[in-house]
Structure 1
């Protein structure tokens, strides 16, 4: 059944997508401001609620989310990308879905919901850093095209069967664009989402955000339970270190309130948590870090020394755990970090 989103749902929806970011995905403030003047209410359709033959696109911002707060996108940041995709495919889009169901990109397709049917499915179900980790690419759905802005009105269009090409070429275009750009994936239908996407991300985000708001002042253990998660620990950040063998990875040590030593391993998202050297949680589980005092949902770079934090693990999207070949793409070893995959 289709769900109607009111403007009053936006803060809870944004908080839910922030939780699904696992410490990444970018803050939602910019998108919340962009959506202030949207044509509310908006309708979100389940995958089964639309004609499966409907041509669909996915939209997102990629690159540095911090640059997006300095260079605010225009009122129609995806128009040129959608036009290029439609020229190439010869098909006009009828629906839109998120590229990733987390962080600011969970909200991004709402900017297009006034002219395209908004469908409740995405290609990650959480935040992940690489475009070659999109479910659509992992399942090798044929005929997709990816379009990225390259700055000064230019676009780069990629049609390839190799997901690694999409990742590398889009990253090059983002550098050319100045560090952040819009991305659109096209060439698929709503029917392709039935098997090749994570469903009900808006539903989950709204439920999480509503539960978080209702329990924001409750004890942290109760908050974890309301979110359907498990408490990994609370404590004070004692150290933040770059990994000596990987410039993109970091380790955050937390002195737990119960005397244990918690160690978070992160890239742009938190990938694993260890307690006294034993693995407690790892990707694709969604590891949430919350400021114990303010109850702010933290990004990885917000894990600063002396901050008091709570660590909560939320269940992984089932799509990733259904098949071993999917799971291999999102465990810590897929990021080059060995020894932290769950048994």
Structure 2
């Protein structure tokens, strides 16, 4: 299938919801994608690539807020892909996103158009994720190295070898000294191997999710919102309090910012508290866990339906809180520990839909 102009708003809404409060602002990425499709350069999304086709994972990493301030030159993805092709001697026949949630649900489609390649109907996250060593190829044991980063100023870094954790640390160190964000590419994976190390159908899934939610209109009733999203409404109410604080350092990195948001459910009077890092991670109703990562916890503005990211939630706004079921890849007992609450330093068992 091809992404058309009419598809862009729905795809943008779908990937924003799957960001689980993270993943970065989709506005700039959607504008770049829209510019291509309005000129007839429509991304080709393929769910049936030849099993021998080499599929290269790509995406934007770093401080996503810096992406809107320091815009891409247009050469970053081509540079990162070329660096991996030179290092591995393997030529990419298609691309796949490293993360369907947020701007990385859109930017790899932009890259695919610019490079003249199809994009696999898959990704390496199934949602928004904060760390490279949590990607599905790492969880499946394939390893992240070699990986290449290309930043807007022209610097290129190839992380030729090392553990998944060392690739994560090396990338963060490079980003801290090079402008905040970069395009990243990993060694290509045969398309026939993707079902074992990727979340399949995620691009079309995000598009369908966005279509259903947009069709539900603004301020839908709980039953209609649950039906449209395919999930569960945890609460509908006004945010009472938001607190933020530095997070604990772990996994060889400085801690991401942590916080919580508390609201009153207008329907029951219960208090719902959301624990968050880069994404919403755990929901507690009157102190009892009711939903958690790896399920997607999405907060949307009650009036407009627009997703509210972790860095923008504030006291006083009326919101709806949704729980969307995690991709089956992450509910497998072998992989669940990678994204369960304890992987983020939260002492709670996972609570899944």
Contact 2:298 2:322 in 1 (8 A): yes
SS of residue in 2 equivalent to 1:113: helix
Contact 1:266 1:300 in 2 (8 A): yes
Contact 1:55 1:188 in 2 (8 A): yes
Question: What is the CA-CA distance between 1:149 and the residue it aligns to?
Answer: 2.5
CA, structure 1 residues 17+262, in 2 after alignment: closer, same or farther (shift >3 Å)? Answer: same
Q: TM-score, normalised by structure 2?
A: 0.91
Partner of 1:113: 112
Q: Does 1:259 align with 2:269?
A: yes
SS of residue in 1 equivalent to 2:2: strand
Partner of 1:236: 238
Partner of 1:273: 283
Partner of 2:71: 72
* Structure 1 residue runs without a partner (length 5+): none
Question: What is the CA-CA distance between 1:241 and the residue it aligns to?
Answer: 1.5
Partner of 2:176: 175
The number of equivalent residue pairs is 338
Instruction: Select between 157-166 and 117-126 the one with higher mean Cα deviation.
Output: 157-166
* Structure 2 residue runs without a partner (length 5+): 249-254
Partner of 2:160: 159
Q: Distance in 2 between matches of 1:311 and 1:17?
A: 16
Q: Distance in 2 between matches of 1:8 and 1:283?
A: 32
Contact 1:232 1:311 in 2 (8 A): yes
Q: Does 1:8 align with 2:12?
A: no
Q: Among residues 14, 17, 27, which one is paired with 2:15 in the alignment? A: 17
SS of residue in 1 equivalent to 2:350: coil
Contact 2:13 2:306 in 1 (8 A): no
Q: Distance in 1 between matches of 2:246 and 2:178?
A: 30
Partner of 2:297: 287
CA, structure 1 residues 267+197, in 2 after alignment: closer, same or farther (shift >3 Å)? Answer: same
Contact 1:143 1:187 in 2 (8 A): no
Q: Distance in 1 between matches of 2:70 and 2:135?
A: 26
CA, structure 1 residues 235+166, in 2 after alignment: closer, same or farther (shift >3 Å)? Answer: same
Question: What is the CA-CA distance between 1:313 and the residue it aligns to?
Answer: 0.4
Pairing of 1:74-223 with structure 2 (within 5 A): 74-114=73-113, 115-141=116-142, 144-149=145-150, 152-217=153-218, 218-223=220-225
Question: What is the CA-CA distance between 1:237 and the residue it aligns to?
Answer: 1.0
Question: What is the CA-CA distance between 1:286 and the residue it aligns to?
Answer: 0.5
Question: What is the CA-CA distance between 1:209 and the residue it aligns to?
Answer: 0.4
RMSD of equivalent CA atoms:
1.7
Q: Distance in 1 between matches of 2:283 and 2:311?
A: 16
Partner of 1:342: 351
Q: TM-score, normalised by structure 1?
A: 0.94
Q: Distance in 2 between matches of 1:189 and 1:311?
A: 38
Question: What is the CA-CA distance between 1:178 and the residue it aligns to?
Answer: 1.5
Question: What is the CA-CA distance between 1:76 and the residue it aligns to?
Answer: 2.7
Question: What is the CA-CA distance between 1:340 and the residue it aligns to?
Answer: 4.8
Question: What is the CA-CA distance between 1:194 and the residue it aligns to?
Answer: 2.2
Q: Which runs of 4+ in 1 moved over 6 A?
A: none
Contact 1:19 1:288 in 2 (8 A): yes
Partner of 2:252: none
Question: What is the CA-CA distance between 1:91 and the residue it aligns to?
Answer: 1.4
User: What per-residue deviation string (whole Å, max 9, x for no partner) do you get for residues 25-84 of structure 1?
Assistant: 1121111111223243332111xx112221221111111111111111112321111111
CA, structure 1 residues 99+198, in 2 after alignment: closer, same or farther (shift >3 Å)? Answer: same
